[in-house]
Structure 1
Amino acid sequence: MASSSVLKSSFRLVAAAFMISGYVRVRNLLIDAVISDQYGGHSQYLTMQGLAIAVATMLTGVVVDLLPFLSFLRVLRRYLFVTAMPLAVVITSIYWTLLLLFPKLIVVQDFSQPGSPSSSSEAPKPFYLPLSIDLALHACPAIALMVDFFAFESKYTASEVKYAVPAIVACYCVFYGSWVEYCATKNNGIFPYPFLTHSPLPGRIAIYVGASLLAVVSFRFLNWLHPRSVGQ
């Protein structure tokens, strides 16, 4: 294996391992029991979906590095990347902006303390993830994918950016919006993110559409910044 392939594979493995560690450590927190008891569990969270796609993108890249003759995997990874990178950018930009400026809109309440009566007048405390887990879930995917894109990937063609990217983003928007809306009907109207719970349906639709537009614009901007085509 060429030294460049070793570098790519090592970077992708380390990034995937760090992201997976974030998910594993979340499952060890007390609040995991609350999430797991809800309909949809962790799959309600755009963060977790984005994490899974980012990990799949990285690991597919490792297989491509090891078995370059499997050309169909190279094509698969390109389309995984089209989904993973804009999704990660949206998750990172929205999460950290709300966490720093409007934490009540993104930080869930900690209902994980056993024995607390539901009629207690004391409001549950906000639950903040440990920083290392927060970085693994909400920073590493976007950073790793952008580094991978600029260092190891070829930029996308004008046709791919104009047609494929908006189509993929639109399909994912419909899928996630439908899924999270359905989960909320099973969870007494509670959404995984407070800003969705506090918004009426028209507001939620506007959020889904706005996030999709951000995904398309961010991908086009990053692709425009890409200085050149690089060898795979």
Structure 2
Amino acid sequence: MARHQLQRLEAPSRQFSLFLHAAGIASFTASFRFLNSWETPMSSAYGGHYQFLTIIGLALAQITFVVGLLADITLSPSLFTVKNALSVFSAPLEILITVLYWGLCAIDKSLVFPPDFQLDFLPDFGFHAAPGLMLALDLLLLSPPWTVNAYSAVTLGVTLGFAYWVWVEYCFTQNGWYPYPIFDILSTWQRGLLFTFSSLLMSGSTMTLKWLYGKLNGVERFQKEAVKNPAGVRPKGE
């Protein structure tokens, strides 16, 4: 399969691409193994650990990298295309999780974790930093450019953000408490503002990743597409 002219490294391939995807899968699997051995009230609650946006993002990252690894092993263009489509969802979501988590921790870590369930650095990094870093590397080095415009990014961010809000509120009706302490502090309209802000932040992360792709690969006009470009339209010369 011919590599896209804006794609920095060969992918799918049995070299660096395979190594990155295998390393990512190992990291994500270690996080899930830790989660399965970590006894908390959340373990037996309705929705389990999947009430956390962090775990939903981790699962999407795992699926994306498994498909990417299979593409590397088989050198399948079809699987490579599926991996790239999945990364449109998983990469911005993981960047959002990383920014929100560490931002809130800088203010007060008890907003995201009760004091009795604080994580040590390695599992904390594995849940809240490694997936975003791995997916960003996959996008910037091993993927063709996204053909996603600003409108599509906002639509995607708002859809995922409010879908998660509905899921969290439904779990609350079953359990009587929220997965993140900050949700208990905020009123309903304040939670709505938080989810709206998070949705727009995810949209911004999509456009930022697209801009960084153009910056890293030295394509000035591709950077401009991060602000305005019809989906599917490529710069001249491609």
Aligned length: 206
Partner of 2:197: 210
Aligned partners of 2:193, 2:136: CA distance in 1, in Å? 27
Name the SS for the 2:146 alignment partner: coil
Q: Where does structure 2 lack aligned partners over 5 or more consecutive residues?
A: 1-9, 220-238
Aligned-residue sequence identity (percent) comes to 29
Aligned partners of 2:66, 2:115: CA distance in 1, in Å? 34
Q: Where does structure 1 lack aligned partners over 5 or more consecutive residues?
A: 111-126
Is the aligned partner of 1:101 residue 2:107?
A: yes
Aligned partners of 2:32, 2:119: CA distance in 1, in Å? 12
Aligned partners of 1:216, 1:10: CA distance in 2, in Å? 29
The offset of 1:172, in angstroms, is 1.4
Is the aligned partner of 1:79 residue 2:85?
A: yes
Is the aligned partner of 1:186 residue 2:174?
A: yes
Aligned partners of 2:178, 2:115: CA distance in 1, in Å? 12
Cα 1:54–1:44 change in 2 (3 A) is same
Q: Is the 8 A contact 1:106 1:194 kept in 2?
A: yes
Aligned partners of 1:16, 1:161: CA distance in 2, in Å? 29
Partner of 1:35: 42
> What pairs with 1:63-74 in structure 2 (closer than 5 Å)?
63-71=70-78, 73-74=79-80
Q: What TM-score comes out, normalization by structure 2 length?
A: 0.80
Ranges of 4+ aligned residues in structure 1 off by more than 4 Å: none
Partner of 1:116: none
Counterpart of 1:94 in structure 2: which amino acid?
L
Aligned partners of 1:151, 1:78: CA distance in 2, in Å? 12
Is the aligned partner of 1:54 residue 2:61?
A: yes
Partner of 1:201: 188
Partner of 2:227: none
Aligned partners of 1:185, 1:148: CA distance in 2, in Å? 38
Q: Is the 8 A contact 1:15 1:58 kept in 2?
A: yes
Is the aligned partner of 1:16 residue 2:25?
A: yes
Aligned partners of 2:95, 2:52: CA distance in 1, in Å? 15
Aligned partners of 1:5, 1:223: CA distance in 2, in Å? 26
Q: Is the 8 A contact 1:99 1:107 kept in 2?
A: no
Partner of 1:169: 157
Cα 1:5–1:104 change in 2 (3 A) is same
Aligned partners of 1:205, 1:63: CA distance in 2, in Å? 39
Q: Is the 8 A contact 2:88 2:146 kept in 1?
A: no
Counterpart of 1:206 in structure 2: which amino acid?
L
Instruction: Specify which of 17, 26, 42 is matched with residue 35 of structure 2.
Output: 26
Counterpart of 1:55 in structure 2: which amino acid?
Q
The offset of 1:70, in angstroms, is 4.7
The offset of 1:163, in angstroms, is 4.1
Partner of 1:120: none
Counterpart of 1:171 in structure 2: which amino acid?
T
Partner of 1:92: 98
Aligned partners of 1:15, 1:109: CA distance in 2, in Å? 29
Q: What TM-score comes out, normalization by structure 1 length?
A: 0.82
Q: Is the 8 A contact 2:156 2:203 kept in 1?
A: no
The offset of 1:177, in angstroms, is 0.9
Counterpart of 2:181 in structure 1: which amino acid?
P
